[in-house]
Amino acid sequence: MSNIPKNTGLAHYPPLIQALCKPDAYPHKTDEIRLVETHISWVLLTGQTVYKIKKPLQFAFLDFSSLAQRLFFCREELRLNRRFAPDLYLDIVPITGTAEHPKLGGEAGEAIEYALKMRQFAAGQLLSERARSGQLGSDEIDQLAQTLADFHGICAKASEDSEYGDSTSIRHWSDENFACIRPLLNSEPLLQQLLRIQAWGDTEGRQKSTLMQARKQQGHVRECHGDLHLNNITLINGKVTLFDCIEFNAELRWIDVINEIAFLMVDLLHFGYDAYAYRVLNRYLQLTGDYAGLGLLRYYLVYRALVRAKLALLRMLQQQDDGSIQQARDEYAVYADLAERFTQNTRPVLMITHGFSGSGKSFLAGKLAEQTGALQIRSDIERKRLFGYQAQDRTDGSIYTQEAGQKTYQHLAGLAKIIIEAGFSVIVDAACLKSAQRELFRQLANGCGVRFVIIAVQASEQTLRQRVGERQNDASEATLEILQRQLQSAQALSAQEQQETITVDTGNTTPVHNIAMIKTALSQ
C-alpha cells in the first residue's frame, strides 16, 4: 500500500484519479484529499467520507477488467463488509461526467466508474498502527477473539456439494504461492529454503486431505473475512471493528475458520506479539471448542506466512529505489523464516495443574500458555460445554457429581491428545486433586511419547478463601463449601509425582517470577 500525501506525485495516475484529487469533484465540502493506493484499488480520503475505486485489472485471482465486473464487486464488498461494520459501509455511488471532469454521485449521464462510499474513521487506530507503536493491548486481543468466535458462529456454511474448502482447492492456493514466489528469488539459500517448505507442505497437504474434507462436512468451511490481518482491523470508540474483507474471489473467502485464525496469528507473530498470537488462539478455542481445527493449524500458518512473503516480493517489483527494494526483500525473508518455523517438528509437553480452587491455576496457566505457545484447556469451561452449558452459565450443580467429573476428565484427556497430535504443548487447567485423575494424564503422555509435568499451584488457606469469596464473572462455580470439601478429600502427590512436579506459590511470588521459574524448569 502506498500513500500519496497532499496529492503530490500524481502525474503517473490515470486522469480520473488525478481529477478526483480536486475538491470540486465531490458533492460535499472537503479541505484536503488524501490518496491511498493498494495493488488493486485507489482509496480517496476526504475527511469524513472515503471513496474506494477498483482498478481495471485482471489477475489469476480476480477480474476487475470491465465496468460491469467492478460494479458487481463493489456490491459484493458492500454486502460482505456490512456483516462486520454496517456503520462504515454506506453505499455505491456512480461517477459521471468525463475522466477529466468527473462528478461523484452524479445522477445525470452514464456512469463511467463506480466508487464504494464509506465513513472515514479516525487515523492511528488501526491495530497494525497500534502494534507498531507498542500500544496494542490484551483488551483488543480479547475483543478480537470474541468478535471472531461470534462471527464464525453465524456466518454462512459451505454446502457439501460446493467447490469451496475441498482439499484440492486448498492445496491449489498453497501451490500458487510457490509458483509465484520461485521465479522472483535470486538467492540460492532462499530458493533452497522455499523448496524445503514446499516439500513439507506437499507432504502435510496429502496427509491432512481427509481432515480437510471432514472439516468441510462438519461445517467449518464458512464465508469468512478472508484477509484478516491487523491492517484490516481498527478501533472505533474503543470497539474492535473488522473491515475490508475479500470480495473479489469467493474461494479465498470461503475457508476453514482455523485458516482465518492462522492469518491473524501470523500477523501478530510478524509484529513480535508472540504472546498475543497464542492468547487470541487460546481465547478463540475456549470460546468455540474447535480444538479439532488444530490438526490443520500448522499447515495454514505456513500457507498464510507465504501469502505475506509473496506479497512482499510483488511489492518489490513495483519499487524504484534500492532502499525500498531491499526493504521488501527483508520482509520476504522474515515471512519465509516464519513459514519454515512451523514446518519444524517440536516435542510437545503435557502439563497439568494441581491445586485447590482459588489457588490461581487458571491465571497462571493462561499466562504460561501465552509465553510458551501452549494450549490451555480449562476444565471449568469444558465441563460446562460437555453438558450443554455456556461458560458463564450458572448450573444446578448436577454436572459436579463424581460420574460427571469422570466424564469431564476423560473429555479433557481426549482434547489433550488432539492438541499433542497436532504438534502443540498443552496445559490441562484442572484441580487434579485425585491421584487417578493425574494418572490418566501420565498414561496419555506415555502413550504419546511426550514429557509429563505437574504444575502444583499453592496459596495459603486464607488466600484461597479470600479469592473464592471474591470471584466474579468466571466460568468456575467453586464456593467456599466446595473449597472446604477439596481441602478435606485431596490426595497428596506421591513420591514419583513429586519428581515430575514444579511447585509455585501464587500467594507469595509474582506471576512474572512464577512463569520464569516454570519456563526454566521446562527447558531443563
pLDDT, tens only, 332-341: 999 999 999 9
* Grid cell digits, residue 445: 503422555
The answer to whether 99 touches 75, Cβ cutoff 8 Å, is no
The answer to whether 84 touches 111, Cβ cutoff 8 Å, is no
pLDDT, tens only, 102-113: 999 867 679 999
Sign of CA dihedral 79, 81, 82, 83: positive
On whether the 349-523 domain is CATH 2.40.50.140, my answer is no
pLDDT, tens only, 455-485: 999 999 999 999 998 877 787 878 888 899 9
pLDDT at 7 over 70: no
Q: Which residue has the higher pLDDT, 59 or 194?
A: 194
* Grid cell digits, residue 166: 475441498
In 107-248, where do the E strands start and end? Answer: 113-119, 221-223, 233-236, 239-242
Average pLDDT for the chain: 93
pLDDT at 398 (0 to 100): 86
Nearest alpha-carbon partner for 297 in 334, 257, 328, 253: 257
pLDDT, tens only, 239-271: 999 999 999 999 999 999 999 999 999 999 999
User: What b-and-e string marks burial along 306-338, b requiring 16 or more CB atoms within 10 Å of the CB?
Assistant: bbbbbbbbebbeeeeeeeeeeebbebbbebbeb
pLDDT at 5 (0 to 100): 46
Nearest alpha-carbon partner for 486 in 400, 404, 413, 383: 400
The answer to whether 216 touches 8, Cβ cutoff 8 Å, is no
Element (H, E) at 53: strand 49-54
Element (H, E) at 427: strand 426-429
Sequence spans of domains, the chain: 2-119, 127-341, 349-523
The answer to whether 359 touches 352, Cβ cutoff 8 Å, is no
pLDDT, tens only, 373-421: 999 999 999 999 999 998 888 888 888 889 999 999 999 999 999 999 9
Neighbours of 339 (CB within 10 A): 26
CA–CA gap between residue 318 and residue 39 (Å, rounded) = 9
The owner of cell 516439500 is 199
- At 85, the amino acid letter reads A
- CA angle 65/66/68 to nearest 5° reads 140
Q: How confident is the model at residue 3 (pLDDT cuts 50, 70, 90)?
A: very low
Neighbours of 123 (CB within 10 A): 10
Q: How confident is the model at residue 9 (pLDDT cuts 50, 70, 90)?
A: low
pLDDT, tens only, 490-520: 999 999 999 999 999 998 889 899 999 999 9
The owner of cell 512436579 is 501
* Grid cell digits, residue 95: 461517477
The owner of cell 509473496 is 310
The answer to whether 415 touches 382, Cβ cutoff 8 Å, is yes
Tell me the CA distances in angstroms from 18 to 6, 22, 170, 412, one per residue in order.
12, 8, 40, 61
The answer to whether 494 touches 438, Cβ cutoff 8 Å, is no
Q: What are phi and psi of 44, to 5 degrees?
A: -110, 120
The domain defined by 127-341 folds into: Aminoglycoside 3'-phosphotransferase; Chain: A, domain 2 (3.90.1200)
CA–CA gap between residue 16 and residue 25 (Å, rounded) = 10
Rg, the chain, Cα only: 26
pLDDT, tens only, 346-385: 899 999 999 999 999 999 999 999 999 999 999 999 999 9
